[in-house]
Amino acid sequence: MEAEASSFECSEMLATLLASTPLLEESWKLCGQANAEAPQSYGTKQMGHVSYVAFSGIQMLAGLDPSCSNLVPIESSANGLFSSLHRHGEGEEPVMVHAGLLHLFLSFYSSPIFHNQMREITSNSKSVVFTGHSVGGTVASLSALWFLSCLQSLPSSFSVICVTFGSPMLGNESLSKAILQERWGGNFLHVVAQHDIVPRLLFAPSDSLFPYLCSFFPFWHSSMSNPSFKQLLAQCPDEMQAQFLHIVLNSLEALSAGGLNSGQGNLFWPFGSYIFCTSKGSICLDNAVSVIKMLHLMLAKSSPSSSIEDHLNYENYVGQVYWQILSSNNFQEGDLPDSSYEVGIALALQSSDITPCEAVSGPAKDCLKLAKQMGRTPSLNSANLAIALSKITPLRAQIEWYKATCDDSDDQMGYYDSFKRRGASKKNSKVNMNRHKLARFWDDVISMLEHNQLPHDFHKRSKWVNASQFYKLLVEPLDIAEYYRSGEHLKKGHYMEHGRERRYKIFDKWWRDRKVEGNPGNSRSKFASLTQDSCFWARVEEARDWLNRVRSEGDTRTQSLLWENIEKFDQYARGMVDRKEVSIDVLAKNSSYNLFVEEWKDLKSQLQLFPPHFPSLLDGGGSSSFDYIVGK
């Protein structure tokens, strides 16, 4: 069993990445160029096999107007561009984003030039880094989310990273959860200067902020395009600066004091990793609650002028990050604590530029401890799941025994049809109960993975990829049998589209994305122990339904389409049998598949009487692929 990892292991790994690559430095350099040379636009640059897309921080202020500041559902507001993020359970808040910032992204997306550049990047690069300063950072985040959603449907190893500097919040907690569920949290890095007020803005009421934004955004924009304009801040009254800070700080303080309970759908929520930069060092947090608390605690030490000026100081912080990471950290606050855990807390507190004597020291230390995300580490969770997997092996073995007895039974129905037509017996009840227990186990695995409680590469580990595939091939036929036995297809529609559990779709992706070694194309010498298409029986049921419909269908065009689909399935199924990719239960005398074969043979015999209607069936033509049903 792996030892429990350090609470700050992820931060240390990220620090090593930043120190060993030009990612942060190059990202900021291009953001600075975009601010100076491409206001209200973006710039691109290719370095080797990596392309950078940098969005200027100088964007239209309308996106922060109170009339545009509401959170809106991304599903209905973005025309399906973020299809991977639409999913949410019953009773959960939908994924929502800031209306004005989404509108800003869509204005870029609607440009043919943008699409052409994205296609060129996909063709000529292996990785893309979306980056942006200020409001440009939110456009970079939405661009990365769109790009990741597009890659979902492609068998691609293309990598996407998003780096933002002083970016406002983007969406609600459901967005954060959806990003974790897709395993995209590690694709986003948000750099925040310790006093910068902009990443904290949207926690405050928009109607209270707007008068101040009308004053300070023009100052920020002018200073981004020409640093000499920084002196214009003196023209903003000190009282206005103080009131601006007071509004944001009070909102963060109330939020932190309220416990930050999960499920507040109308609240902006962080996602990805946050690196907080100070003059003393930097710390990285990826726990959303800890991020919000640290945003509050660091701003609590700010002066009104520093909270505004720090939005323009990222060049200094980025330059400091490198030498701070590469130089050794010296503890400067007295004696080192005894435990390595407390040493980690103390060093992180020091890097936060918070001294033990300050009032925020205690809450900051609690915040850093919270970042550990109470409970066991992902590695330990994975080890315990491995033990749990071994404990459910007997359940799987009992189903395998059940399959063997069904395949050898005198009724010659086979595994699928025996379960579908089962009567009341202890054996059948036991198998059905095991089916439900295994489903709960795998649903729990997926839930832990989607809530970031397992290692990031868990779904790529051969042990779990193979175990999930075996489970799917063994048990999904039983789920299909139960679906049609209970008549669910009559209420909802056929299994493939209306009844298939999400876990199986996830396991399909794990299996497709696995690394295949050697020659996977060796032909079989005997039939498979389990049919290699876990949805084979659902396809059989749908094909038999087409056979029933075609007999009574009066519309010639519809009838022709039904015949075409039946033929495609027949070609597909025969190919599976010829390649021995089916289990012997498929060929059982009284199986649903054999019934289909006989019914199909009868229909083709009848077709001989009407050759003009479907000549392709008479001359042996027709497609050998099964695109309508099998195509992904």
Q: Which sign, positive or negative, has the C-alpha torsion 461, 462, 467, 473? A: positive
- Sequence-distant (6+) residues with CB within 8 A of 131 are 27, 28, 30, 31, 52, 53, 54, 55, 137, 140, 162, 163, 164, 165
Q: In 124-174, where do the E strands start and end?
A: 127-133, 159-165, 171-172
DSSP 80: T
**Residues recognised as catalytic:** 134, 196, 311
Given a contact cutoff of 8 angstroms between Cβ atoms, the answer to whether 560 and 568 are in contact is no
DSSP string, 268-328: EE--SEEEEEETTEEEEE--HHHHHHHHHHHHTT--HHHHHHGGG-HHHHHHHHHHHHHSP
Q: Tell me, letter by letter, the H, E, C secondary structure of 415-450.
A: HHHHHHCCCCCHHHHHHHHHHHHHHHHHHHHHHHHH
Given a contact cutoff of 8 angstroms between Cβ atoms, the answer to whether 8 and 348 are in contact is yes
Rounded Cα–Cα distance for residues 404 and 390 (Å): 22
Q: Which phi and psi (to 5°) does residue 250 adopt?
A: -65, -40
Nearest to 60 by CA among 202, 190, 218: 218
DSSP 267: S
- Sequence-distant (6+) residues with CB within 8 A of 612 are none
CB atoms under 10 Å from CB of 467, counted, come to 19
Cα–Cα distances (Å) from 594 to 18, 476, 541, 574, in that order, read: 61, 20, 12, 11
Q: Which phi and psi (to 5°) does residue 373 adopt?
A: 60, 80
Nearest to 416 by CA among 539, 525, 508: 539
Q: Which residue type is seen at 516?
A: V
Element (H, E) at 541: helix 536-552
Element (H, E) at 190: strand 188-193
Report CA Rg, the chain. 30
